Amino acid sequence: MHTLAQLQSGELQGITRLQLSEQLTEFPKEILSLADSLEILDLSNNQLTTLPNEINQLSKLKIFFASNNPFTVFPDALAQCENLEMIGFKSCQIKQISENAFPPKLRWLILTDNQLETVPDTLGECNLMQKLALAGNKLTELPDNLSQMHNLELLRISANQLTKCPDQLLDLPKLAWFAFAGNPFCKSDLKIKSVPTVSSSDYTLENVLGQGASGVISKAHWNKAQTDFPQEIAVKVFKGEVTSDGYPEDELQACLKVGNHPSLVQSLAQVNEENHLALIMNLIPAHYKNLGLPPSLESCTRDTFPNGFSLSLEKINKMTSEMCNVFNHLHDNQVCHGDLYAHNTLFDNEANIIFGDFGAASMYHMLSTTQQQKIRTIEERALNHFIDDLMSVCEH
């Protein structure tokens, strides 16, 4: 994190990345003095509502973040930034986007948790777009010409007001990670009781094991001896609001619909109290570790791995076989995971895997047979990318 004082004093000359969060109400014009070097500009968590046209002087700017600012209109000024590839306006108040808002090289756009009721047709003309996040808005339809986005690989449209399945998206040739739950077109009245309901007072949370967009997972123990459950458990407490992937309730129902599988985190019970939604799960043995790391700004949609990480072909074959088995289990239960990645997978030294994180999962049993098959085909691409990514770290 940098300071406005540093910027104004000139000590930041030559930097490639600038991050300012000081309740700014206006764009600091001193940022323009970094035009010869600045590639990443992060002005998230301020009070900005507009951007100046002069921002196009930042000729090397590739990435711009402005999440958690009270913008109500997507700033047209960004369209003139000729090298801008990634834009993030998560959790703003954007209601309007003009036809001429998008820069020519845009390939990654985050508009999660805004107030959008429509998006312009020109979005479909962003033919370099690989990653598009529109979850948590008020969209009632999507432009037909999104069918032209032939490079789109990851799409989040969950938690909107879409009344019909956007068929124009289902034939996109590269789409692999797709989340669409929480829309009227896929509304489900299922209240799955495959696991018992317990009270949040029945257990005590201990240390945090991990957290994602939709909730926090902690180790926990039962307050009384149990005969039906292991004494030590993991509990995911959902955050309760819309996330980048959708609504917590949809995640919980998708988890329960899938049921049990040897390579999935096993659900044991649920908590469904007012303002408190939680899933009790088997505690994963401590010797399991993450198989991959999330995509980077450079890799965009593809997983990354630690430097020096490698796997034998034998282990890769075992992991891919288990993941294919998981894939078939999910889709036989008409659930699209939406986030089939190595970074959502744990593995042990014997190459056993445990797959989890259903934050982007969508049930699709209510769709037509043709639509169901296309959704399965979409996620099959993610499975193929998973295999390709593992082969990229194969020992030679």
Annotated binding residues for ATP: 236
CA dist., res. 298 & res. 347, Å (int)? 25
Half-sphere exposure of 65 (CA within 13 A, CB side): 17
* Euclidean distance between the first and the last CA atom of the chain, given in angstroms as a whole number: 41
Give the residue among 155, 128, 130 at the shortest CA–CA distance from 142: 155
d(CA 396, CA 382): 24
Q: State the binding site.
A: 236
- Amino acid identity for residue 269 in this structure: A
Cβ neighbours around 296 below 10 Å, total: 10
Give phi and psi for 267, each to the nearest 5.
-80, 135
Q: Identify the CA nearest to 4 among candidates 26, 28, 32.
A: 28
Distances (CA, A) of 33 to 28, 83, 152: 10, 18, 35
CA 383, CA 389: separation in Å to the nearest integer?
10
Residue 94 is encoded by which pair of tokens?
């954007």
Distance CA 77, CA 129 (A): 19
Distances (CA, A) of 218 to 204, 211, 215, 233, 283: 10, 9, 10, 9, 9
SS3 (DSSP) at 344: helix
Residue ranges of alpha helices (H) inside the chain are 4-9, 167-170, 248-258, 313-332, 369-391
Count the residues in the chain. Answer: 396
The residues pairing with 41 across neighbouring beta strands, listed in sequence order, are: 18, 64
Q: Give the Cα separation of 86 and 108 in Å (integer).
A: 5
